[in-house]
Amino acid sequence: MRYEAPGTIEEAATLLARESGIARVLAGGTDLLVQLRAGMIEPDLVVDVKRIPAMMDIVEENGGFRIGAGVSCARMGEHAALVAAWPGVVEGAELIGSTQVQGRATMTGNLCNCGPAADSVPGLVAAKAVATVVGPEGRREILVKDIPAGPGKSNLKKGEIVESIFLPKRPERSGDAYLRFIPRTEMDIAVVGVGVSLTLDADGTITEAGVGLGAVAPTVLDVEDAAKAIIGSKLDEAALEKLAAAASAACNPINDKRGTIEFRVDVAGVLAKRAAKIAYKRAGGK
């Protein structure tokens, strides 16, 4: 196994593209190293991206935030302006593992690992976040929700690296929230995860919304019906019930050691309501 730590993303992309065997990007390594040690993968090349300065910062851009793919979840939590604008996205990132894990783990790694239960992804999907990807054919932009293809499988092409994730400028009266269900209080994997982002008008009516659902399907879902269920409402009981029903209806889960199908379907609705209420409050709604 070769280990490389290039200084630019172009070099990194070239190394990956040229490798004929199995190649992997290394960010925080909190998924990759675990998989290596468990013997799940045996890569021929590992390209560490943490020496690429352009990928290691959070930059304010046109009123939005560009989060470098190498930025740890802990650093996101320390960025006051980001936390103020996107508390839901940050709380997803800050639920990952423990304090120690968050010091290494990145949101992009969470995304590119393509686990259905990845905690930071539903919030990004709800936020309609966009990833910038660099590959042998140059730079392109892709919606975060389009990166995962299935458990452990991504839509990135050979040699492609995510450079950053962009969270757009927030209109006034916007808020977001992420909630997950685990049977314990920490160090567990989401049985259901829900991210809700919304924007209100002056009288508290929801004008825009996004709902991301995790752990209930092969990939994180962008549930447009759930968003539609609350747009135009002031998040009254009827809207909440419609939201819950839409969230539950979107689920396509499996029965496994972590939860049953019926449980996931039920709890997706419950958490969608609870997350929406928090997001609504954060947006200034009453």
Partner 1 sequence: MAGNQEFDADRAQDFRVVGTRPARPDGMDKVTGKARFGADMNMPGQLIGKILRSPHPHARIKSIDASEALAMPGVKAVVTAEDFNADAKDRDVLTNIMARDKALYEGHAVAAVAATSRIKAQQALKRIKVNYEILPHVTDVDAAMQPDAPILHDDMFTQGLDEKPAKPSNINARHEFGHGDVEKGFAQADIVIERDFKTAATHQGYIEPHACVANVGADGMSELWVCTQGHFHVRSQCASLLGMDVSRLRVTASEIGGGFGGKTTVFIEPVALALSRKAGRPVKLVMTREEVFKASGPTASSSMRVKIGVKKDGTITAGEASLNYQGGAFPGAPADFGAMSAFACYDLENVKAVAFDVVTNRPKGAAYRAPGAPMSVFAVESVVDELAKEIGMDPFDLRLKNAARDGSKSSYGPKFGKIGLVACLEAAKAHPHYAAPLGPNQGRGVASGFWFNFGGETCSNLNVNEDGTITLAVGTPDIGGSRASMCIMVAEELEVPYERVRAIVADTSALGFNDTTEGSRVTFSSGMALIKAARKAKEEMCKRAAMMWDIPAEAVYWAEGAAHPSGPNAGDFEPMTIEEIAGSAAKTGGPIAGHHEYNADGAGVSFGTHIVDTEVDPETGYVKILRYTVVQDAGKAIHPDYVEGQFQGGAVQGIGWALNEEYIYGEDGRLQNATFLDYRLPVASDLPMIDTVIVEVPNPGHPYGVRGVGETGIVPPLAALANSVSAAAGVRLTDLPMSPPKVLKAIGATKLAAE
Ligand X SMILES: Cc1cc2nc3c(=O)[nH]c(=O)nc-3n(C[C@H](O)[C@H](O)[C@H](O)COP(=O)(O)OP(=O)(O)OC[C@H]3O[C@@H](n4cnc5c(N)ncnc54)[C@H](O)[C@@H]3O)c2cc1C
DSSP string over 165-198? EEEPPPPSSEEEEEEEE-SSSSS---SEEEEEEE
109 binds, among partner 1, ligand X, none (CB under 5 to 8 A by kind): ligand X
CA dihedral over 80, 84, 87, 90, signed as positive or negative: negative
161 binds, among partner 1, ligand X, none (CB under 5 to 8 A by kind): ligand X
The nearer residue to partner 1, 251 or 267, going by C-beta atoms, is: 267
Q: CB atoms < 10 A from the CB of 200, how many? A: 23
Q: How far is the CB of 107 from ligand X (least distance, A)?
A: 6
Q: How far is the CB of 136 from ligand X (least distance, A)?
A: 14
| Interacting residue ranges for ligand X, rule: CB under 6 A | 24-32, 34, 49, 69, 95-97, 101, 104-106, 108-110, 112-113, 118-119, 156, 161-162
16 binds, among partner 1, ligand X, none (CB under 5 to 8 A by kind): none
| Interacting residue ranges for partner 1, rule: CB under 8 A | 39, 181, 183-189, 191, 256-260, 262-263, 266-267, 270-271
What is the residue whose two structure tokens read 């019926």? 262
The nearer residue to partner 1, 141 or 186, going by C-beta atoms, is: 186
Output the residue with the shortest Cβ distance to ligand X. 109
The nearer residue to partner 1, 62 or 257, going by C-beta atoms, is: 257
196 binds, among ligand X, partner 1, none (CB under 5 to 8 A by kind): none
The nearer residue to ligand X, 69 or 124, going by C-beta atoms, is: 69
CA dist., res. 107 & res. 124, Å (int): 9
CA dist., res. 109 & res. 62, Å (int): 25
Provide long-range contacts, Cβ within 8 A and 24+ apart, for 150-154.
150/114, 150/218, 150/219, 151/114, 151/115, 151/116, 151/218, 151/219, 152/113, 152/114, 152/115, 153/114, 154/112, 154/114
